[in-house]
Structure 1
């Protein structure tokens, strides 16, 4: 599953509220971009990748504002009806974590439960929902597994769907006494397991540096991956203005506060 070119184009935007400097709520737009790949998992006509959905938004189905990830899942049916995307039961989902927001979008870096976001994509009928947890997510692999056979929270393990193997590492490098943090040594050890051999798609919350200025990340992760680069690495945690970078003979796509749709 390799990118065909590195240019993305805008499919849609989703308005939402997020905490700005000092925690003041602000109106922003989630960019939904499109990029082509050479193949998709059997059973999918598109893949949607997203992460760092730290905001609240009105659902297109109505009602009170919900977590941005829930609203994004609700948009899948709307976009299918308009012909923008295939039906939700043909759209696989890949999540790179940090899916929580304070209900009033008035506190930056809030942590909380995000199982409802996973549930929203599963309830929409998406054939697969694989992802990792960010450092602000409160969710367990056991909770996620109860949502369906092909719904999985990954952390040092892999799951296959169709003919594509997806590996993932949850959390970030940091103090292991804090939730969803591990030492750099332990992080790189998990990464080594997932790249011997390399998964087709690698999901991480905290990812590698890119290949140009402003594409921040962890240099040690890039060094480890360059030797056995997956075809596609998805990550977030820090925002890139330019979401695509080259990594070995594969690519990184940064989906921090962004959604990217992959089609052939």
Structure 2
């Protein structure tokens, strides 16, 4: 599965609240953008990739603000009814972590439970929900596995669906005494294992730097992945204004605080 174009096309936006400097809540917009790929896994007419959904928003059906990822899952029905996206049961989901927000969107870098985001996409009928955990997520692979056969939190493992292979590594480089952190050496060793052989899609929270200014990331991750680059690497943790970069024969797509819909 490879990109056949690198220019995104805006499909929609979702208004939400996120913590700004000093924890002051801000009104912001989540962009929903389309990228073309040459093929999709059998059983899917689109793949929705998202990460760093650190905000709150009401469901399009009303109610109090909830985690942005939960509201996003509800929007799938709205977009399907308008013809913007295929029905949810034809939309696979790829998550790159950091799905939590303080309930009042008034504290930056808050950590908390995010299982309900995974549950929302599974309950919407998405045929596959694979992802990794970010450093602010409180969730376990065992909890996620209870949501369905094709719902999986990946950390050093891979899963197949519809003819494609998805691998994932959770967390970031940091003090291994803290949750969801590894030494840089251990993180790079994990990446080398995950890309032997390269999966079709690699999910990371902390990813490589890109190939142009402003595409921040970890250079050692880039050099490790370049040896056996996946066709598509999805990551977040830091925001890129330009979301696509070339890596070897494939591409990196940054989905920090954005949604990218991959469609053939």
Distance in structure 1 (CA, Å) of the matches to 2:41 and 2:184: 32
For residue 65 of structure 1, what is the aligned residue in structure 2?
65
Structure 2 alignment gaps of length 5 or more: none
For residue 165 of structure 1, what is the aligned residue in structure 2?
165
How far apart are residue 5 of structure 1 and its match? 1.3
For residue 240 of structure 1, what is the aligned residue in structure 2?
240
For residue 186 of structure 2, what is the aligned residue in structure 1?
186
For residue 261 of structure 2, what is the aligned residue in structure 1?
261
Distance in structure 2 (CA, Å) of the matches to 1:196 and 1:140: 25
TM-score by length of 1: 1.00
Question: Where in structure 2 are the equivalents of 1:23-38 lying within 5 Å?
Answer: 23-38=23-38
How far apart are residue 160 of structure 1 and its match? 0.5
Residues 192-213 of structure 1: CA deviation (Å, up to 9, x unaligned): 1111100100000000000000
Residues 90-148 of structure 1: CA deviation (Å, up to 9, x unaligned): 00000000000000000000000000000000000000000000000000000000000
For residue 97 of structure 2, what is the aligned residue in structure 1?
97
Runs of 4+ aligned structure 1 residues displaced above 6 Å come to none
Residues 58-85 of structure 1: CA deviation (Å, up to 9, x unaligned): 1001111110000000000000000000
- Give the match's secondary structure for 2:189: helix
- Give the match's secondary structure for 1:235: strand
How far apart are residue 158 of structure 1 and its match? 0.2
Paired residues, number: 264
Distance in structure 2 (CA, Å) of the matches to 1:121 and 1:37: 22
Structure 1 alignment gaps of length 5 or more: none
Question: Where in structure 2 are the equivalents of 1:91-240 lying within 5 Å?
Answer: 91-240=91-240
The Cα RMSD (Å) is 0.4
Distance in structure 1 (CA, Å) of the matches to 2:184 and 2:39: 33
Distance in structure 1 (CA, Å) of the matches to 2:260 and 2:208: 18
Distance in structure 1 (CA, Å) of the matches to 2:46 and 2:184: 34
Distance in structure 2 (CA, Å) of the matches to 1:34 and 1:162: 21
Distance in structure 2 (CA, Å) of the matches to 1:53 and 1:146: 23
How far apart are residue 227 of structure 1 and its match? 1.2
How far apart are residue 42 of structure 1 and its match? 0.5
How far apart are residue 152 of structure 1 and its match? 0.1
